[in-house]
Amino acid sequence: MRLIKKTHACVRLEKDGRTLVIDPGIFTEEDAAVGADVILITHEHPDHFHEGRLRAGLEAGPAAELWTLRSVAERVSAAFPGRVHTVGHGDAFSAAGFDVRVHGELHAVIHPDIPRITNVGFLVDGSVFHPGDALTVPDEPVETLMLPVQAPWNKISEVIEYVREVKPLRTLDVHDALLTELARPLYDTHLGNLSGADHVRLAPGDSTEV
């Protein structure tokens, strides 16, 4: 597969002329989901789910379909009958030639006073795992881990331990729009030296084979 990094939490995966997009949110390019055959959304927070960007993708592709959790599906299913599918932990499905397994149930704790919402992660083709806003460890091997490197709910030591627990071959940064350019080399150094996996950082628009 070819993986294209979009701004913040969004990535595009391309294979055999088909495209899968994960988490086109408010920080992501307006056309991030346009041209997608499959769209996956991990949870309802706006930096992962922007209704306008999602609708643009579904409207541009009349055969495009969405797989997501109930809170997101309920907001768009009426407008796209038969094209919105609700999934949860343990589910598996195939769409446009991609095989997807769903892992995880809850968003990471931001603060004890903030209620936790549902969050699911997606493992695509048994290779690329996007956890959304959680440090979910799938019960199966992961080759490429989309790593949420900076968020209000994590710190670098937790991110490093997460990589060690998942044991992927490589990590690629996501959830990084709020990380300053000054801080990025520090994160790169710690993840490269301590996580036990190859660490890759792509600028928005850059791509790599996975």
CB atoms within 10 A of CB 32: 28
Q: Which pLDDT value is given to residue 170?
A: 98
Query: pLDDT by residue for the chain (210 residues), tens digit each?
Result: 999 999 999 999 999 999 999 999 999 999 999 999 999 999 999 999 999 999 999 999 999 999 999 999 999 999 999 999 999 999 999 999 999 999 999 999 999 999 999 999 999 999 999 999 999 999 999 999 999 999 999 999 999 999 999 999 999 999 999 999 999 999 999 999 999 999 999 999 999 999
Which pLDDT does position 98 carry in this prediction? Answer: 98
Structure pTM?
A: 0.97
pLDDT for position 13 = 98
Q: What integer pLDDT is reported at residue 204 of this predicted model?
A: 97
Domains of the chain: 2-209 (3.60.15.10)
Q: What is the Cα–Cα distance from 46 to 177, expressed in whole angstroms?
A: 13
Q: What was the pLDDT predicted at 76?
A: 96
Encoded tokens for 102: 């769903």
* Residues 119, 134 contacting (CB under 8 angstroms): yes
- Contact by Cβ (8 Å): 125, 167: no
Q: Three-state SS for 32? A: coil
pLDDT number for residue 54: 97
CA distance linking residue 49 with residue 75, whole number of Å: 11
Residue 165: partners with Cβ closer than 8 Å, 6 or more residues away: 137
